Amino acid sequence: MLTSEQLIQEAKKAREKAYAPYSKFRVGAALLARDGSVYTGCNVENASFGATCCAERVAIYKAVSDGRRDFAAIAVVSDSQGSTFPCGICRQVMTEFRIPVVIVVDEVGRIAEYRLNDLLPYAFDNIE
């Protein structure tokens, strides 16, 4: 099972693949499934901006489409100095698949872990 540090490293590798010609803001994500498998994603932008998909959702959709449903944590990195937190839509998607922990890096390189429940309290959730 990967450590938080290793998961951040995987997210940094994924960031290299970012397709971000419009914002120039590269993001990488690495999602750890409970069976130990890791799925990475980068942001993929589009000339029609609304078609852009965040790195987190790319990773989650890769994992789910590969049959994974049970997750431990997701790590997110960008090019910015401070922590990059997932956007609202990604938090909602993380809620759907019960990803309990979000791992980010702060401005001095420290790894911090947040509970999804704290990042999106009172989430809409229609799952029984």
Binding footprint of ligand THU on the chain (CB under 6 A) = 20, 23, 25, 27, 43, 45, 52, 54-56, 76, 84, 86-87, 90
Query: Toward ligand THU, which CB reaches closer, 33 or 54?
Result: 54
Q: Smallest distance, Å, CB 128 to ligand THU? A: 29
User: Could you tell me the smallest distance in angstroms from the CB atom of residue 2 to ligand THU?
Assistant: 20
**Euclidean distance between CA atoms 82 and 98, whole angstroms:** 25
Q: Which is nearer to ligand THU, 3 or 88 (CB)?
A: 88
**Is 43:63 a contact under the CB 8 Å cutoff?**
no
Helix (H, G, I), strand (E, B) or coil at 88: helix
Is residue 16 annotated as a catalytic residue, yes or no? no
How many CB atoms are closer than 10 A to CB 114? 15
Q: How far is the CB of 20 from ligand THU (least distance, A)?
A: 5
* Cβ distance to ligand THU smaller for residue 25 or 35: 25
Answer whether 70's CB lies under 8 Å from 33's CB.
Answer: yes
- From the list 10, 45, 56, 107, the catalytic residue is 56
Residues annotated as catalytic (active site), given as ranges: 56
